[in-house]
């Protein structure tokens, strides 16, 4: 499909990164129509992984901590998951249920918002396997997490009900999905860059993440990226860590595995000294597994934005206003607490200022 050949190639590649070849690649493929089909609930899974790839990490990886997030019903049936924390089943649904609805005046005639309202459904590009951000619970088909719940809140804002249809993008086609109108918005650990801003508009940033270092719990010598010189570092294929670690520590030896659980297993089995991954993912891994811990602070900064169709300033302003309102009325913080906050012992961070990043 569309996408620019050149770029795509490069990115993909990046994603794919060698690594595990195989699995790794998973990320890339998806885009296609078929994948799009999935709608949130029942999904067939189309490919999920990818998503995220580049930026966040692997998406593939994933670990969700169990779920906490999940809200709703899931807990009922699933016990599958590991021990997890928290949030009672209804919390997140009730949080979203209480979300504010835009006043009719802001839904301008002829605007994208009006189109969505008439359709009665918000079409969102988001991952299925990014734990705590946008992860599908295999037992219920529900998709939960920070990104996913924000998307639901936006749906409530426009429609009055959390009616969301999910299209699972792979990193390299998010621009295409937006420009050809397949999706209304993208919530997909979409890092704002000036390059991308030439093809899509970004509302936000609404969250800042970054790569961090995890080690075995017994390891007291590695305290952060600075201690990784000459060490064997495990990274997820398709993640930014693949290129970022050598940039910061050229002497580190990189071993990559396809998925986050594999990386975790490899770390615990001693196939590497450290594991570099997006902090949200590491936090959820560490919460589910007491044999590893996160050390230090993120050493990169990834401002996530909400992807919108290029040139739709009306809609961008609308979404930015919505972000401001949920950030001030506490909804943003509540969603954070119910998702990412379940694995981090701290108060919700202060969201980055809207428009503070070049490209936003």
Partner 1 sequence: MSAGVRTASTDMTPTSSKRSVPGASVLFDAPGPRARRRIRIASGISIAAIVVIIALGVHQFADHGQLDAAKWEPFTQWPIWRFLLTGLLGTLEAAALTAVLGSALGMVMALGRLSKVRVIHYAAATYIEIMRTLPVLLMIYVTLFALPAYGINLPLVWKLVAPLTVANSAAFAEIFRAGILGLPRGQEEAALSIGMTRGQAIRLVVLPQAVRIVTPSVVSQLVSLLKDTSLGFVVSFSELLFKGQVLSTFNHLLIQTFLVVTLIYLVVNGSLSTVAHRLQRWTARRTSRGGKPGVAAPPGMALTPMIGEGHHE
Partner 2 sequence: MNVLLDNWRPLVDGLLTTLWITLVGGVGAIVVGVLVTAARVSPVKVLSGLAFCYVQFFMNVPLLALLVLFVFALPEVGLIMPLLTTAIVVIILYEAAYVAEAVRSGINTVSLGQAEAARAIGLTFLQSLRLVVLPQALRSVVQPVGNVMIALAMNTSLAAAVGVVELTAAAQKVNLVSAQPIQVFVGAGIGYMALALAIGLSTGVVERKVAIVR
Binding site for partner 1 (CB under 8 A): 1-3, 5-6, 8-9, 12-13, 16, 21-35, 44-50, 60-66, 77-82, 128-129, 131, 135-140, 170, 258-262, 264-265, 285, 288-289
CB of 148 to partner 1, least distance (A): 14
Of the candidate spans 87-95, 142-150, 166-174, 250-258, the one that interacts with partner 2 by CB under 8 A turns out to be 250-258
**Using rule CB under 8 A, residue 269 touches partner 2:** yes
Contact call for residues 43 and 128 (beta carbons, < 8 A): yes
Give Cα 100 distance to the centre of its chain.
23
CB of 318 to partner 2, least distance (A): 37
Binder among 36, 58, 134, 256 for partner 2 (CB under 8 A): 256
Of 263 and 282, CB closest to partner 2: 263
Of 205 and 258, CB closest to partner 2: 258
- Cα 184 to Cα 307: distance, rounded to the nearest angstrom: 9
Q: What is the crossing angle of helices 331-338 and 313-328, to 10°?
A: 80
Of 143 and 335, CB closest to partner 1: 143
- Cα 278 to Cα 294: distance, rounded to the nearest angstrom: 11
Give the containing element (helix H, strand E) for 308: strand 302-309
Q: φ, ψ for residue 13 (rounded to 5)?
A: -60, -45
Binder among 121, 266, 299, 355 for partner 2 (CB under 8 A): 266
CB of 205 to partner 2, least distance (A): 27
Contact call for residues 201 and 241 (beta carbons, < 8 A): no
**Using rule CB under 8 A, residue 120 touches partner 2:** no
Binder among 161, 271, 293, 310 for partner 2 (CB under 8 A): 271
Of 118 and 243, CB closest to partner 2: 243
Contact call for residues 245 and 228 (beta carbons, < 8 A): yes
- Cα 120 to Cα 7: distance, rounded to the nearest angstrom: 35
> How many other CB atoms sit within 10 Å of the CB of residue 323?
21
CB of 150 to partner 2, least distance (A): 32
- The contacts of residue 17 (CB under 8 Å, 6+ apart) are 24, 237, 238, 242, 256
Instruction: Give strand pairing partners of 236.
Output: 257
Q: Interface residues for partner 2 in 1-30 (CB under 8 A)?
A: 6, 9-10, 13-14, 16-24
Task: Work out what residue 108 binds among partner 1, partner 2, none; the CB cut-off runs from 5 to 8 Å by kind.
Answer: none
CB of 135 to partner 2, least distance (A): 21
Of 144 and 260, CB closest to partner 2: 260
Residue for token digits 């699933």?
78
CB of 5 to partner 2, least distance (A): 10
CB of 234 to partner 1, least distance (A): 14
- Cα 100 to Cα 3: distance, rounded to the nearest angstrom: 36
Contact call for residues 237 and 18 (beta carbons, < 8 A): yes
Question: 97: closest CA among 157, 140, 8?
Answer: 157
Q: Which residues bind partner 2 (CB under 8 A)?
A: 6, 9-10, 13-14, 16-24, 255-258, 262, 265-266, 269-271
């Amino acid at each position: 499909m569309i996408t620019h050949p050149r770029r795509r190639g490069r990115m993909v590649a990046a994603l794919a990164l060698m690594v595990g070849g195989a699995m790794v690649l998973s990320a890339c493929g998806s885009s296609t129509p078929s994948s799009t089909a999935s709608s949130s609930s029942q999904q067939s899974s189309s490919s999920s992984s990818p998503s995220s790839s580049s930026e966040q990490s692997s998406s593939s990886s994933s670990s969700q901590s169990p779920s906490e997030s999940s809200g709703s019903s899931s807990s009922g049936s699933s016990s599958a998951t590991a021990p997890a924390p928290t949030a009672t089943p209804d919390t997140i649904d009730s949080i979203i249920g209480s979300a504010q609805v835009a006043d009719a005046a802001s839904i301008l005639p002829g605007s994208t918002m009006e189109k969505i309202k008439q359709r009665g459904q918000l079409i969102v590009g988001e991952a299925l396997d990014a734990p705590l951000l946008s992860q599908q619970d295999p037992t219920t088909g529900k998709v939960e997490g920070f990104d996913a719940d924000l998307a639901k809140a936006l749906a409530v804002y426009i429609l009055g009900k959390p009616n969301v249809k999910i299209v699972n993008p792979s990193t390299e086609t998010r621009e295409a999905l937006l420009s050809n109108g397949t999706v209304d918005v993208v919530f997909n650990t979409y890092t704002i860059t000036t390059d991308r801003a030439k093809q899509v508009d970004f509302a936000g940033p609404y969250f800042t993440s970054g790569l961090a270092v995890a080690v075995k719990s017994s390891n007291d010598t590695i305290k952060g990226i600075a201690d990784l010189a000459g060490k064997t570092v495990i990274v997820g294929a398709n993640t930014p860590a693949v290129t970022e670690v050598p940039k910061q520590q050229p002497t580190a030896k990189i071993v990559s595995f396809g998925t986050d659980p594999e990386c975790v297993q490899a770390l615990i089995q001693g196939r590497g000294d450290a594991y570099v991954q997006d902090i949200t993912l590491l936090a959820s891994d560490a919460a589910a597994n007491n044999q590893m811990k996160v050390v230090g602070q993120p050493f990169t900064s990834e401002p996530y934005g909400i992807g919108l169709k290029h040139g739709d300033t009306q809609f961008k302003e609308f979404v930015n206003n919505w972000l401001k309102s949920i950030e001030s009325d506490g909804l943003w913080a509540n969603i954070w607490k119910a998702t990412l906050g379940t694995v981090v012992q701290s108060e919700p961070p202060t969201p980055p200022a809207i428009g503070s990043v070049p490209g936003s």
